[in-house]
Structure 1
Amino acid sequence: MIQRVLIPSDFTVNSLRIVLEYIENSGDQQVEMVLVSGYKLDSSIGMLLGFSTADHIADLQDEDFLKGCEMIKSRFKDKVVEIYGDCMVSKNSRYVRNYIKGAKFSQIVLPEAFEFTHTPNSFDVVEVLQTLPFSGVPEVVTVQMQDANLQEHDGLDSFFFRKNWRFSYE
């Protein structure tokens, strides 16, 4: 059975460290990873009618981030079934619980000591998830972030190639 995993993200290469820590320290279970960012919707009617999660995520993801996701899928092809992004559009506890239940997440990953890059309209998904009580489903998995000195690096060359992976990317 494939596990669906919520992983907080800001759609930067640096935030893929959370994905790597999770994959490298989890078992052989196949996973579908949903990288989730928080976005505060404006209350204007134009924003409410014109907002598209896909468009917003496309604006946030740069080429290096997408290449990093492809590298992870390539490196862990036996474990990673899919990686894609999504947005949580409210901090409201009922919304968050319904979002998690509706998406059928089996695990939620919460990184320790990780600082996300925020925009004026974003919010910290980890902070929201830490305030909610979970009763076993989904399982909450805490990942310890290794190599704290990599926090300031946000490029493929400074992060991924330090892993000494042997593969070619085209």
Structure 2
Amino acid sequence: MPIGTVGLVRGMSGTGLAVLAVALVLTAAASWWLRTRDGRLRTAQEEEGVGGPTAVLEGLGVRPADADLTVVQFSTAFCGPCRTTRARLQHLQATRPGLAYVHVDAESHLEAVRELDVRRTPTLFYLDREGRLLGRSSGAPRPEELTAVVDAHTGARS
């Protein structure tokens, strides 16, 4: 006997319906929370778990003293948002002389990925001229936020 949606709900107990409702609410809340964090720049003060990534990044060839703002992107070959973020950063680098962009293949630098607690790609680190961590973002940053961060630290205005 085929069970439709109405038959499924009619055959459920009150406890089953309550569990289903709670699961749906929790899923919606978790989805909303993850979406609000995706690509958001977290300042160095918010990044208590990452202490002093400068030595690890310099070991990868990053030289923050060469620019007002250095953006280091960890990505993987098959990451679609990584390609979009890379293109955006390369465009910003071409139009803002105070910006340096460094691309790091996460799969080729697993030790650095572990030390810096990179859990997803793209992950971006923002460093000032002195090599201090200004912040980081995980996931593709929103274009307007990325441009605003770059402009704020390079002195450029679009």
Q: TM-score, structure 2 length as denominator?
A: 0.31
Q: TM-score, structure 1 length as denominator?
A: 0.30
Higher strand share: 1
